[in-house]
Amino acid sequence: MSLSAFIRAHHELIIMEFAVFAKTLMPTGADMSEVELRDHAEEMLTAVVLDMETAQTAEEQSRKSKGHGSARAMEVSGRLHADHRIEHGFTFRSVLAEFRALRATVLRLYEESGASDLTEVRRFNEAVDEALIESMDRFAVQTGVLRDQFVGVLSHDLRTPLGVVTTSAALLAFPEDNPQRRRLVVTRILNSAHRMERMIADLLDLTRVRLGGTIPLTRRRADLQKLCEEAILESGAAHPEAVLQLNASGDLVGNWDADRLAQVVSNLVGNAIQHGDGTPVTLTAVQEGDAVILAVHNAGAPIPPDVMPSIFDPLTRGGDDDAGHSIGLGLFIVRAIVSAHGGEVGVRSSSNAGTTFTTRLPKFDSSVSAATLREALNG
């Protein structure tokens, strides 16, 4: 049996084995489903088989083996694969490992079948290598674009707080007998410094997650209702015109990183205030079994449909206003923190219902006995 015919006959088995391995390469916080993993592997295999079954002269074979083929049947498939993996936070090494796994899976199963058509194996390797090269080239280009965009956004956003610090420091250099004015200037300096500090912290979180790591957690007993109340007070002080409401019910105590969850609530509330068009922002926290559901709602303009698929990506902005958070990383970090807790976050948005970000947080660490944690939390 030819290798192309073997791939067609054992299509499902190859996809299944590949998807199991590819799932282990997904970065923490990625929301890529097994269906998506399988779909992209299926597209790649289909393109490979079509390439293998395309007639090829000896000259074309020689040129293709050296990476100079003219057909370039795998170009589109390789680029689409890279775009999709970048969107879900895969690293360069993860994508390389995926191609290695696909190649190894197909050739191992083919060898175990007793077949040994070396010409077909060569054609298969050529097709996979062409897709790999296209994917890596695309990955490098898109990574460079993201890096340049990131530097530009960072430079833009740092300019404002840095300008406040510089101007305020210049004012303090002039002696005066107005203590109230001096306190106001010092407060502006401190606020700007805190804002730049948040930007640096967000940068560190972005780097950690993008390198395949996870948000570090220090779990302890925490009450989500108190965290929401504190976030409302903080956001209300920063945005006195905002109307903030909290509806809480049930047991909202869990084994969480309180500081990180405060960051989640603060980012979601800040985002709702920014895009709420002055409408009230409502926080709803309810117990649901061994989990807590937190929903943050505003009745402002809906999120545009073209923005929804990338709403949790870094550097994504829903508008030009300044949310008071850093460089378009707020929702990206929300998802990373919720995922580190073993939870999920999603969004619904329409002109009639407004916009609601909903997180589901398990109350207990899945790696530890829930009964043990209940005893500790209630003790």
In percent, how much of the chain has pLDDT > 90? 21
pLDDT at 357 over 70: yes
pLDDT at 276 over 70: yes
282 beta partners: 245, 297
CA 354 to chain centre: 23
Mean local confidence (pLDDT), 251-260: 92
Among 150-159, 210-219, 362-371, the range with the most confident prediction by mean pLDDT is 210-219
Q: How far apart are CA 378 and CA 372, in angstroms?
A: 10
Mean local confidence (pLDDT), 248-255: 94
Tell me which H or E stretch contains 282: strand 281-288
The CATH class, in words, for 3-146 is mainly alpha
* pLDDT mean across residues, the chain: 78
Angle between helices 179-210 and 330-340 (to 10 degrees): 60
pLDDT at 167 over 70: yes
Query: Any residues with CB less than 8 A from the CB of 181 and at least 6 apart, and which?
Result: none
What is the structure's pLDDT at 322? 42
What is the structure's pLDDT at 200? 77
Quick one: which of 161, 38, 12, 169 has its CA closest to 98? 38
Query: Mind listing the pLDDT tens digit for each residue in 178-228?
Result: 788 788 888 878 877 877 777 777 677 666 666 555 677 889 999 999 999
Tell me which H or E stretch contains 326: none
Mean local confidence (pLDDT), 297-317: 82
Query: Mind listing the pLDDT tens digit for each residue in 61-101?
Result: 656 555 554 445 567 677 777 777 766 667 777 777 778 87
Query: Any residues with CB less than 8 A from the CB of 94 and at least 6 apart, and which?
Result: 25, 26, 27, 85, 212
Q: What is the architecture of the domain spanning 220-378?
A: 2-Layer Sandwich (3.30)
What is the structure's pLDDT at 284? 96
Residue with tokens 């090269």: 133
Cα-based torsion angle of the residue sequence 260, 261, 266, 268 in order, rounded to the nearest 10 degrees: 120
Tell me which H or E stretch contains 19: helix 11-24
- Band of residue 166 on the pLDDT scale cut at 50, 70, 90: confident
Residue with tokens 């390469």: 25
Extract the tokens encoding 108: 């191992």
